């Protein structure tokens, strides 16, 4: 079982970076005391910023710090909402907004490029109390796709909107739109060029071409959040640019309810990241919930089965989850996953690499 690795208080992390030894990795762990002991209500939040070949030896100290800081800002945003009695849905949405607005992740601002040089964004959100859900796919001008997915959930009779229609709905709902050039980042653009070059070498004809998702420098960074609020309600959300060099309007698991995102107050809230085709085929997020509901598994057991027994033979990635009692999980079968969790005590854990 891959366990969470902790950073110490951020200052220790910085010192750790200077000393730069293997055990200095990832650390932020801080404790705040709330709510009153007499008024203890379970709540919590878990986030991810993508899984893949994320290795400590390939990451500079300044990059590690940048990721750690952004993960901390994101999770504290959601935690504050939960602490003040806000809903799990709001905590998930606003936490994801922080990561969508950062170029570090493959979502919103930092979304990867498709083969044709556009950025096509996908997102979904689900409310575990009502089992309502909203999703959008292939949007190119929506600054924060998770906000549009939320609008689909609360202001439309549908679950999933795609492309131009989704953008038309965004205008009607007053969701913030941007020029497609907003999503340009040098990192993502260079990643597309590298993947295209590697692809040309490997495949001879257009017919057999398929983006090589396992290429070494593929950009990871789909983002997700799951939360339990003080009223016992769960929510999950996921937002992504998909996979570098994707073609033919490919849509991954992130906007598919049951595959990349699922929440049900009876069981858990789940957000997945990794090679989407395999998460779709495994109905991965719902599978965790189903094993809990019908098989009596705990969240941890179900997450381990999906990630370490069912997926490895077909595809790599990870998931985060929280159950209705506030148990939290972050499992992955790749070398790393950007992740953080924070409970009702304010205990914060941030990690990136495999133990
Ligand atoms: N699951 C996403 C997709 O396939 C990508 C990722 O999580 O890295 O679109």
Residue 299 has pLDDT above 50, yes or no: yes
Question: Could you count the other beta carbons within 10 Å of the beta carbon of residue 260?
Answer: 33
Query: pLDDT value at position 38?
Result: 40
Residue 267 annotated to the active site: no
Separation of CA 184 from chain center: 20
Calpha distance 93→89 (Å, rounded): 6
Q: How confident is the model at residue 142 (pLDDT cuts 50, 70, 90)?
A: very high
Average pLDDT (8-18) is: 35
Is the pLDDT score of 256 beyond 90? yes
Mean pLDDT of 123-138: 98
Query: What integer pLDDT is reported at residue 219 of this predicted model?
Result: 61
Atom 9 of ligand 1, nearest CA residue:
242
Ligand 1 atom closest to residue 106's alpha carbon, by position in its atom list: 8
Read off the pTM. 0.89
Among 260, 311, 315, 330, the mutation site with the greatest number of ligand 1 atoms within 8 A of its Cβ is 260
Q: Among 8-17, 37-46, 152-161, 333-342, where is mean pLDDT lowest?
A: 8-17
Whole-angstrom Cα distance, residue 88 to residue 144? 18
Q: How many Å lie between the centroid of ligand 1 and the Cα of residue 213?
A: 10
- Tell which residue, 63, 75, 143, 71, has the closest CA to residue 110: 143
What is the reported pLDDT for 329?
98
Predicted local distance difference test score (pLDDT) of residue 280: 96
Q: What pLDDT is attached to residue 35?
A: 41
Concatenated DSSP letters of 8-34: -SHHHHHHHHHH--GGG---B------
Q: Are 100 and 239 spatial neighbours (Cβ–Cβ below 8 Å)? A: yes
**pLDDT averaged over every residue in the chain:** 87
120 CB near ligand 1 (under 6 Å): no
Per-residue confidence (pLDDT) for residue 6, from 0 to 100: 41
Query: Per-residue pLDDT for 265 more than 60?
Result: yes
Q: Whose CA is nearest to atom 8 of ligand 1?
A: 274
78 touches ligand 1 (CB under 6 Å)? no
284 in contact with ligand 1, CB cutoff 6 A: no
Which residue owns the Cα nearest ligand 1 atom 6?
Answer: 274
Q: Tell me, in angstroms, the distance from the centre of ligand 1 to residue 12's CA.
A: 32
State how far the Cα of 32 lies from the Cα of 36, in Å rounded to an integer.
11
**Separation of alpha carbons 11 and 13, rounded Å:** 5
Q: What is the pLDDT of residues 17-56, one digit of tens each?
A: 333 333 334 444 555 444 444 445 799 999 999 998 888 8
Q: Is the pLDDT of residue 323 over 80?
A: yes
Q: Give pLDDT tens digits for 192-238.
A: 998 888 777 765 555 444 444 444 445 679 999 999 999 999 999 99
238 in contact with ligand 1, CB cutoff 6 A: no
User: Is the CB of 261 inside a 6 Å radius of any atom of ligand 1?
Assistant: no
């Amino acid at each position: 079982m891959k366990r969470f690795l902790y950073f110490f208080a951020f200052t220790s992390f910085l010192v750790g970076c200077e000393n730069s030894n293997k055990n200095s990795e990832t650390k932020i762990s801080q404790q705040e005391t709330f709510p009153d002991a007499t008024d203890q209500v379970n709540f919590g939040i878990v986030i991810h910023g993508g899984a893949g070949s994320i290795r400590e030896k390939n990451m500079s100290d300044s990059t590690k710090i940048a990721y750690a800081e952004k993960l901390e800002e994101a999770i504290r945003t959601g935690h504050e909402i939960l602490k003040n009695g806000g809903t799990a849905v709001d905590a998930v949405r606003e936490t994801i907004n922080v990561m969508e607005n950062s170029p570090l992740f493959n979502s919103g601002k930092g979304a990867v490029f498709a083969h044709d040089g556009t950025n096509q964004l996908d997102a979904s959100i689900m409310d575990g109390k009502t089992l309502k859900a909203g999703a959008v796919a292939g949007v190119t001008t929506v600054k924060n796709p998770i906000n549009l997915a939320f609008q689909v959930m609360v202001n439309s009779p549908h679950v999933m909107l795609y492309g131009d229609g989704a953008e038309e709905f965004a205008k009607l709902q007053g969701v913030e739109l941007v020029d497609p050039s907003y999503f340009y980042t040098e990192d993502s653009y260079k990643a597309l060029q590298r993947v295209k070059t590697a692809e040309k070498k490997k495949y001879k004809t257009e017919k057999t071409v398929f983006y090589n998702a396992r290429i070494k420098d593929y950009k990871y960074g789909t983002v997700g959040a799951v939360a339990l609020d003080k009223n016992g309600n769960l929510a999950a959300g996921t937002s992504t640019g998909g996979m570098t060099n994707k073609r033919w309007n490919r849509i991954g698991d992130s906007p598919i309810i049951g595959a990349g995102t699922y929440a049900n107050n009876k069981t858990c809230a789940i957000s997945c990241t990794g090679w989407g085709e395999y998460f779709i085929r495994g109905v991965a997020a719902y599978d965790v919930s189903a094993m809990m509901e019908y098989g009596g598994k705990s969240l941890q057991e179900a997450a381990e089965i999906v990630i370490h027994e069912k997926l490895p033979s077909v595809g790599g990635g990870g998931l985060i989850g929280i159950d209705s009692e506030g148990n939290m999980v972050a499992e992955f079968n790749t070398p790393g996953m950007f992740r953080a969790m924070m409970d009702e005590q304010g205990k914060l854990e941030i990690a990136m690499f495999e133990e």
